[in-house]
Amino acid sequence: MLEGHITGELLSPDYRALNTDWYVFWQHLHGYTSPLFFTISGIVFAYLLSSPKEQGGYWQNNRVRKGYKRVLELILWGYLLQLHLRNLISCWLDGSTYHTDWLMAFHVLQSIGVAIFLILLLFGLSKLTRLPFYLWAFAGAFLILICNGYQEFYIHQQREWVNQGLQAQVVYRPADWPKWIQNFFYGQYSDFSFIRFSGYTLFGAGMGHLLRVYERHVLRYGTAFLLTLLGYVLVRDAYYILWGLDFVIQQLGLANVNIQLSNKDALIGLGYVLMVLGVLIWINKIFVFKDNLFLRMGQNTLLIYIVHVMLIYEGLLGFGLPLKAWSENFSPEQSWGLSALIIAGFFLLVWVWTSRSKLFLSKK
């Protein structure tokens, strides 16, 4: 995530235009980091949520209470990071208008917050019905995948109509609703709409619960091979799978055109996620990771995300690294070098943050 955002901000158009194999590979890979991020968020949350230590009723589960608190925290931070205090103060001093369109955007943290809220609701349904939670999670992921297909079809249709001059501008939906609500679904700033990304988090939640229930059986080479193979099939045959799904939907009388084919990128993203999970299981079998700095990085992703938005995109305060002055002026080597330096800085930040009690608090 850090490398992609920094390199994407700094890399010169001259090197993009060369369209080398390395650049094509980097651009392709960078496009699927978001599905992986959302999926792993679901895996970690559901794995902790279904801990054997958390027995009893729904509200007796400490992770449920913490989960709802985290939902509010994520959504609050999501909107705060879209605030630009320097611009706000400047507009207030010179009497100009502070535009709030970006403030109402629906971005990564808000989307993860909504996804975790859905996980908590489905976890409650699993308690009521006594059906395994992973069944509810996978069913929810499939339903959202179908909904995303309809939404992507609508978005493509709207853009085509505008390009053909059939209408003046795209119609966001829900139509005539406030912008901040439209952005949850399809609005001016809804690249991370929960319909587009919550499916990955719910799928990850199902995987996290399976990992908790069948931990001894899941973390094996056979599982790694199966996930990698399934991911490869989804990437290779996404078109045919979605065509078959469209055929079923049309036979049921729910549509008369191919709608789910618009979902191809989402299904390919899921395929890459499965392949990465397979590789991670393979790595876990070979190497033993104890409480090290890499694990601490994974446990502090919210802190990393907040700080990286403030530094790279000048979120909240309106101050950050001078990347805009260097925007699209760096060679690949310079971009990757600065990315490595900033990532090293984040490792140092996490080390200081997680060791603060030892570093700054005196022992009694």
Percent pLDDT > 90 in the chain is: 48
Local confidence band at 110 (pLDDT 50, 70, 90 cut-offs): very high
Predicted confidence (pLDDT) at residue 36 exceeds the cutoff of 70: yes
Contact (Cβ atoms closer than 8 angstroms) between residue 111 and residue 198? yes
pLDDT higher than threshold 60 for residue 364: no
The model's pLDDT over 147-193, given as tens digits with 9 standing for 90+, comes to: 999 999 999 999 999 999 999 999 999 988 999 999 999 999 998 99
SS3 state of residue 201:
helix
Which pairs from 4-7 meet CB under 8 Å and 24+ separation?
4/30, 4/33, 5/308, 5/312, 6/312, 6/323, 6/335, 6/338, 6/339, 6/342, 7/332, 7/335, 7/336, 7/339
| Residues 6+ away with beta carbon under 8 Å from 228 | 274, 275, 278, 279
Phi, psi of 186 (to 5 degrees): -150, 105
Per-residue pLDDT of 61-84, as tens digits, reads 899 999 999 999 999 999 999 988
**3-class DSSP state of 173:** strand
- The pTM (predicted TM-score) of the whole model is 0.88
pLDDT band at 294 (very low <50, low <70, confident <90, very high): low
pLDDT of residue 46: 92
| Residues 6 or more apart whose Cβ sits within 8 Å of residue 65 | 59
93: Cβ contacts below 8 Å, ≥ 6 apart:
none
Predicted local distance difference test score (pLDDT) of residue 321: 78
Q: Where are the domains of the chain?
A: 38-218, 219-278
Helix H or strand E segment including 9: helix 2-10
pLDDT value of position 255: 86
Phi/psi region, residue 165 (left: phi>0; alpha: psi -120 to 50; beta: rest), is left
3-state secondary structure of 316: strand
| Contact partners, residue 100, CB within 8 Å, separation at least 6 | none
